[in-house]
Structure 1
Amino acid sequence: MAGRAHAHGYRTAGTVFSPGLPPVRLVSVADINHDLARETARRYGFERGDSSWEAVVKADDIDVVSVVVANDLHREIVAALATAGKHVLCEKPLAPTSDDARAMLEATEAAGIVARVGFTFRRTPGIGAVREEVRSGRLGRPLHIGAQYWTDYGCDPRAPMSWRYRGGPGSGALADLGSHLTDVAEFLLGPVEAVIGAQLTTVIGERPKPLGHVVGHGHAEVSDEREPVGNDDWASLSVRFTGGATGDLSVSRIAYGHPNTLRFEVFCERGAAAFDVSQAGEFHLATSEAPGFRRVIVGVDHPYVSGGLAMDATGIGTGHNDSFVYQARAFLDEVAGRDELPRNASFADGLHNLLVEEAAVRATESNTPTPVHS
Structure 2
Amino acid sequence: MTPASIGVAVIGAGMVGRAHANAYRNASTVFGALPPVRLAAIADVHEPFAADAARRYGFERAETDWRAVVDDPCIDAVSVAVANNLHREITEAALAAGKHVLCEKPLAPTVADAQAMVDAAAATDRVNAVGFTFRRSPALNAIREEVVSGRLGRVRHIAGNYWTDYGFDPQRPMSWRYQGGPGSGVLADIGSHLVDLAEFFCGPTTGVQGTAMTTLIETRPKPLGVAVGHAAGVRLSDERVPVENEDICTFTAAYEGDTLGTFSLSRVAYGHANTLRVDLFCENGSASFDMTRPAEFSIVDGTPAEPVNGARQVFIGPWHPYVARGLPMDFPTVGHGQNDFFVHQARAFLGQIAGDDALPPCPDMAHGLHNLQVLEAVVAATDKPVQL
TM over 0.5, shorter chain: yes
Secondary structure class of the residue paired with 2:258: coil
C-alpha deviation, 1:366, in angstroms: 6.7
Instruction: Write the distance in 1 (CA, Å) between the matches of 2:270 and 2:334.
Output: 29
- 1:183 is aligned, of 187, 193, 196, to 196
Kindly indicate whether the alpha-carbon contact (under 8 Å) linking 2:192 and 2:375 is maintained by their aligned counterparts in 1.
yes
- 1:229 is aligned, of 243, 263, 277, to 243
- 1:13 is aligned, of 27, 34, 41, to 27
Residues 83-122 of structure 1: pairs in structure 2 closer than 5 A: 83-122=96-135
- 1:360 is aligned, of 370, 378, 386, to 378
Structure 1 equivalent of residue 95 of structure 2: 82
Residues 186-225 of structure 1: pairs in structure 2 closer than 5 A: 186-219=199-232, 220-225=234-239
Instruction: Write the distance in 2 (CA, Å) between the matches of 1:183 and 1:65.
Output: 23
Structure 1 equivalent of residue 311 of structure 2: 293
Secondary structure class of the residue paired with 2:38: coil
Report Cα offsets for 1:231-271 as digits up to 9, x if no partner. Answer: 00001110001232001011110001101000111001220
- 2:350 is aligned, of 319, 326, 332, to 332
Describe the shift of the 1:102–1:365 C-alpha distance in structure 2 as closer, same or farther (beyond 3 A): farther
Structure 1 runs, 4 residues or longer, greater than 6 Å off: none
Residue 152 of structure 2 is aligned to residue 139 of structure 1: yes
| RMSD of Structure 2 on Structure 1 (CA) | 1.2
Instruction: Write the distance in 2 (CA, Å) between the matches of 1:36 and 1:269.
Output: 49
Kindly indicate whether the alpha-carbon contact (under 8 Å) linking 2:146 and 2:153 is maintained by their aligned counterparts in 1.
no
C-alpha deviation, 1:131, in angstroms: 0.8
Instruction: Write the distance in 2 (CA, Å) between the matches of 1:229 and 1:142.
Output: 37
Instruction: Write the distance in 1 (CA, Å) between the matches of 2:361 and 2:332.
Output: 24
Instruction: Write the distance in 1 (CA, Å) between the matches of 2:131 and 2:257.
Output: 25
- Provide the identity percentage: 57
C-alpha deviation, 1:104, in angstroms: 0.4
Residue 145 of structure 2 is aligned to residue 127 of structure 1: no
Instruction: Write the distance in 2 (CA, Å) between the matches of 1:363 and 1:2.
Output: 30
Report Cα offsets for 1:260-287 as digits up to 9, x if no partner. Answer: 0001110012200011112212111111
Structure 2 equivalent of residue 316 of structure 1: 334
Q: Which amino acid aligns with 2:283?
A: E
Instruction: Write the distance in 2 (CA, Å) between the matches of 1:36 and 1:297.
Output: 37
Q: Which amino acid aligns with 2:125?
A: G
Instruction: Write the distance in 2 (CA, Å) between the matches of 1:358 and 1:25.
Output: 38
Structure 2 equivalent of residue 156 of structure 1: 169
Q: Which amino acid aligns with 1:64?
A: A
Q: Which amino acid aligns with 1:361?
A: V
Structure 2 equivalent of residue 371 of structure 1: none
Secondary structure class of the residue paired with 1:59: coil
Kindly indicate whether the alpha-carbon contact (under 8 Å) linking 1:79 and 1:104 is maintained by their aligned counterparts in 2.
yes
Kindly indicate whether the alpha-carbon contact (under 8 Å) linking 1:190 and 1:243 is maintained by their aligned counterparts in 2.
no
Instruction: Write the distance in 1 (CA, Å) between the matches of 2:360 and 2:240.
Output: 46
C-alpha deviation, 1:298, in angstroms: 2.1
Alignment coverage as a number of residue pairs: 366
Unpaired runs of 5+ residues, structure 1, are 368-374
Secondary structure class of the residue paired with 1:26: strand
Kindly indicate whether the alpha-carbon contact (under 8 Å) linking 2:111 and 2:369 is maintained by their aligned counterparts in 1.
yes
Residue 7 of structure 2 is aligned to residue 26 of structure 1: no
C-alpha deviation, 1:68, in angstroms: 0.3
Name whichever of 98-107 and 164-173 sits farther off: 98-107
Secondary structure class of the residue paired with 1:111: coil
C-alpha deviation, 1:365, in angstroms: 5.8
Q: Which amino acid aligns with 1:2?
A: V
- 1:53 is aligned, of 43, 49, 66, to 66
Secondary structure class of the residue paired with 1:349: helix
Residue 17 of structure 2 is aligned to residue 3 of structure 1: yes
Kindly indicate whether the alpha-carbon contact (under 8 Å) linking 1:208 and 1:227 is maintained by their aligned counterparts in 2.
yes
Kindly indicate whether the alpha-carbon contact (under 8 Å) linking 2:209 and 2:382 is maintained by their aligned counterparts in 1.
no
Report Cα offsets for 1:87-129 as digits up to 9, x if no partner. Answer: 0000000011111111101101101210101100000111111
C-alpha deviation, 1:55, in angstroms: 1.2
- 1:256 is aligned, of 257, 270, 284, to 270
C-alpha deviation, 1:167, in angstroms: 0.3
Structure 2 equivalent of residue 345 of structure 1: 363
Structure 2-normalised TM-score? 0.92
Structure 1-normalised TM-score? 0.96
C-alpha deviation, 1:218, in angstroms: 3.3
Instruction: Write the distance in 1 (CA, Å) between the matches of 2:269 and 2:332.
Output: 33
Instruction: Write the distance in 2 (CA, Å) between the matches of 1:139 and 1:337.
Output: 34
Name whichever of 295-304 and 219-228 sits farther off: 295-304
Instruction: Write the distance in 2 (CA, Å) between the matches of 1:312 and 1:143.
Output: 33
Unpaired runs of 5+ residues, structure 2, are 1-14
Instruction: Write the distance in 2 (CA, Å) between the matches of 1:270 and 1:301.
Output: 22
Name whichever of 124-133 and 139-148 sits farther off: 139-148
Instruction: Write the distance in 1 (CA, Å) between the matches of 2:153 and 2:355.
Output: 37
Instruction: Write the distance in 2 (CA, Å) between the matches of 1:95 and 1:214.
Output: 21
C-alpha deviation, 1:292, in angstroms: 2.2
